[in-house]
Structure 1
Amino acid sequence: MTTGYEPEHRTVDNDGSVGHLLGQVAGDLSKLFRQEVALAKAELKEEAAKAGKAGGMLAGAGFAGYMVTVLLTLALVFALGAVIPLGWAALIVAVLWGVVGGVLYVVGRKRMKDVDPVPRQTVETLREEAQWVRGQTS
């Protein structure tokens, strides 16, 4: 769903004052900005719907993967239980999962420290645009 900017066709007043013309420009810029925001909202809504469907599929895949892991864990416990007592087999498998979880936690925490929550490029672009607008109006 896309909507485009449709400029109004006006006649130019030859006797219009500079203030009046600046007012019209400001009004047009305001209208353009509102239309751009509306377009962005429509696009985001459309993409959010797609992302929601994809997220549901990924959640289903995650659950299926979880079930596979549980069943493989049980199979490993029973396989070890054929050689050693079942209680010890379960404890060994639990310790293995504890080690895997610990390693994943340490690696994940380290990578999380590298995440920068501030969108620096967007902030810089907004600053540049604000300076450009100030330069155009002065």
Structure 2
Amino acid sequence: MTDVDQKPDEPTIGRLVAEASRDISSLVQAEIQLAKSELKVSVRAGGIGAAMLAVAGFLGLLITVLVSISIAYFLVMAGLDPAWAFLIVAGAYLLLAALLIGLGIVMLKRIRAPKKTIETAGKIPAALKGDPGGAARRP
């Protein structure tokens, strides 16, 4: 087909490729802008949520201190000397901390390497080369 045979209204392949490229480029840019705006909202909400959790944690710490003092004063009202009452409360927290440390150590010792995942991940390079069982057949 020559330029004479082509109608003036029909687009050329070059023009079609250029238009498609331009359209894809503008689509990608629009998607990037959409992702940025969505991430801004998510990051703002995440920051506010994290701040609220931090404040709640601080208030929980204050509550723990106040409840500890209250328990000690209940022991004083039961007839104990204030020093002993506060020492008993501190000892209870010491026992609780020791228990949590022990349980934490036991839980940490249960951590194992993901053997099946490591095994299958080792087969991926051979599979990509076209040898599905190659990693398993190696000596």
TM-score, L = length of structure 2: 0.52
Counterparts of residues 8-23 of structure 1 (less than 5 Å) = none
Q: Does 1:133 align with 2:128?
A: yes
Q: Are 1:115 and 2:85 matched, yes or no?
A: no
Match among 92, 97, 107 for residue 96 of structure 1 = 92
Deviation at 1:131, TM superposition (A): 1.9
Q: How far apart, in 1, do the equivalents of 2:81 and 2:95 lie?
A: 22
* Counterpart selection for 1:61 from 42, 56, 66: 56
Alignment partners' CA distance in 2, 1:100 and 1:51: 35
Alpha-carbon distance in 2 for matches of 1:73, 1:64: 14
User: In structure 2, what is the Cα distance between the partners aligned to 1:124 and 1:50?
Assistant: 41
* Aligned-residue offset at 1:62: 2.1
Q: Provide structure 2 residue ranges, at least 5 long, that are not aligned to the other structure.
A: 1-16, 18-34, 132-139
Q: 1:107 to 1:91 in 2, by over 3 A?
A: same
Closer, same or farther in 2 for the Cα pair 1:97/1:51, shift >3 Å? farther
Alpha-carbon offset, residue 101 of structure 1: 0.8
Between the aligned partners of 1:95 and 1:55, the Cα distance in structure 2 is 33
Q: Which has the larger radius of gyration?
A: 2
Note the C-alpha offset of 1:55: 4.1
* Residue ranges of structure 1 left out of the alignment (5+ in a row): 1-8, 10-41
The TM-score with structure 1 as length reference comes to 0.52
**Corresponding residue number in structure 2 for 1:14:** none
Identify if the C-alpha distance between structure 1 residues 52 and 112 changes in structure 2 by more than 3 Å, giving closer, same or farther.
farther
